[in-house]
Amino acid sequence: MQHSQRGRSKGKGWRITLAGVLATFLLIAATKARTPTFNVIYDFSPANGSMSTGTLFLDGAGRLYGTLQQGLYGNCNFNGSAFQLKPVGSGWTLNPLHCFVGGDNDGAYPIDHGGLTIGPDGALYGTTSMGGISNGAYTLGVVFKLSPPARVCTRALCPWTETLLYEFQGPPDGALPHGNVAFDASGNLYGTTSQGGAAGYGIVFELTPSGSGWTENILYSFTTESGGTYPEAGVVVDSAGNVYGVGTRNGQHGQGSVYKLSRSGSGWTLNTIYSFLGGSDGAGPVGGLVLDEAGNLYGSTAAGGVGNGGTVFQLSPSGDNWTETTLCSFTGSYGSYSSLTLDAAANLYGTTYRDGALDGGSVFKVTWSGSNWTCTDLHDFQQGTGGVNPIGGVTVAPNGKLYGTTSAGGAYGNGVVWEITP
């Protein structure tokens, strides 16, 4: 893993003293003593599903929520499920919230690189890549809402109520959403589809509450001449209502791009704020973006970089322009597929699919020291009981613990839920 010495601002000079050297030595010693502890807290098995690909959501009671691409509860068959993982005593208990059944009345295969989104009403929102209205040959995906029971559930299994907010219909509408959804301050919902649209390269959409339903508005249909194509990640919305996201392919140099959508009269205007070159800056952004309080954007790529295994990047606004800084370069065969997570101290966390000493993926942390960025490998996955190939990102608990999933590996080969204690 390569590190960047470029930063947010110029650092002040330092006066080296014996006391300073001793303090630094003690700090290094203390840091080495606090080796992160990795534990598998749940193994997905043939009885309860496999392939968790989204970032987990953590509620105030310490319960984790996520999705599985394949879920085997009752009539779930292989269409996927949504689940809750609840701490009980010294262990964890899994509760299926919903079994996706596919067809015209439900979604199927929640291939979500961003994870479930909590709404202002306390419900969970997400997408599935299939299910919903059929275009004759395929079903093209849905946006769904999962609402908790109105009363406290006393049974062992407590399913939530699903509502389909929208079913994609294919060109000129979108098709096959893979990313998370995001709310703006007015309660409108935004997301992307990886295909469909006027040219077949995907769309950015808005869902607006309308009476008892939701109305779709296509904000942008991607073309090969525009800011990237095939957006696999969702979007992030700033306080002014601007929408940001990534195009996984194409763009000015054919390596993907980062875009900004702004309201313009009764419509929207897309500006490409960065096009990847495919060199040390990375290529093929798959995961979504995260926005800090200063307006900087952070994201990752699955390929390119100095080590040819993807990168972590920062985009900083300067008037109408943006400056790109590569923070980390990975050396595995595949970099990060997930959105980064920004904690309260402005540290960034993420996962790689195949980076790490054992080529099974890794968990990493990116910190700003005041003069440069430091990229730290917290854990390397390997084939076996510890899980392998994480696709979802990292969830940070208030106590500093980290949670996430792997898409494969574990005791049954179906993936795991893991915990890292700093």
pLDDT tens-digit profile of 205-216? 999 998 889 999
Per-domain boundaries in the chain: 35-51+287-422
Mean pLDDT, residues 313-336:
91
pLDDT class for 59, splitting at 50, 70, 90?
A: very high
Say what the pLDDT of residue 131 is.
86
10 Å Cβ neighbour count for 105?
13
Q: Distance between CA atoms of 276 and 324, rounded to whole angstroms?
A: 10
DSSP letter, residue 121: T
Q: Distance between CA atoms of 84 and 60, rounded to whole angstroms?
A: 13
Residue 9, token pair as written in the block: 């601002």
Sort 22 into a burial class: Cβ within 10 Å, 0-12 / 13-18 / 19+. Answer: exposed
Say what the pLDDT of residue 38 is.
95
Which region among 113-122, 160-169, 318-327 has the lowest average model confidence (pLDDT)? 113-122
Say what the pLDDT of residue 73 is.
58
Q: Distance between CA atoms of 298 and 350, rounded to whole angstroms?
A: 11
End-to-end distance of the chain based on CA atoms, in angstroms? Answer: 20
Of 113, 378, 66, 381, nearest in space to 246 by CA:
113
Q: Distance between CA atoms of 270 and 409, rounded to whole angstroms?
A: 41
DSSP letter, residue 35: P
Q: Distance between CA atoms of 352 and 370, rounded to whole angstroms?
A: 25
Of 300, 364, 366, 362, nearest in space to 336 by CA:
300
DSSP letter, residue 294: T
Q: Are the C-beta atoms of 365 and 349 separated by less than 8 Å?
A: yes
17 or 292, higher pLDDT: 292
The answer on pLDDT for 46 being more than 60 is: yes
The answer on pLDDT for 366 being more than 90 is: yes
DSSP letter, residue 355: -
Q: Are the C-beta atoms of 289 and 258 separated by less than 8 Å?
A: yes
10 Å Cβ neighbour count for 383?
14
Q: Distance between CA atoms of 74 and 194, rounded to whole angstroms?
A: 30
pLDDT class for 331, splitting at 50, 70, 90?
A: confident
Going through 194-346 in order, the beta strands assigned E by DSSP cover 195-196, 203-210, 213-221, 236-237, 243-247, 257-264, 267-275, 290-291, 297-301, 311-318, 321-329, 341-342
Say what the pLDDT of residue 61 is.
92
Residue 10, token pair as written in the block: 């110029």
DSSP per-residue string spanning 176-220:
---S--EE-TTS-EEEEESEESSSSB-EEEEEEEETTEEEEEEEE
Q: Are the C-beta atoms of 317 and 325 separated by less than 8 Å?
A: no
Greatest mean pLDDT among 45-59, 69-83, 232-246 lies in 232-246
Say what the pLDDT of residue 214 is.
95
Q: Distance between CA atoms of 129 and 107, rounded to whole angstroms?
A: 8
Going through 44-168 in order, the beta strands assigned E by DSSP cover 57-58, 64-68, 81-88, 91-99, 107-108, 117-118, 124-128, 130-131, 142-147, 161-167
DSSP letter, residue 36: P
Tokens 């030595």 sit at which residue?
25
Say what the pLDDT of residue 2 is.
55
pLDDT class for 51, splitting at 50, 70, 90?
A: confident
Sort 345 into a burial class: Cβ within 10 Å, 0-12 / 13-18 / 19+. Answer: exposed
Q: Are the C-beta atoms of 299 and 310 separated by less than 8 Å?
A: no
Please give the share of the chain, as a percent, with pLDDT higher than 70.
88
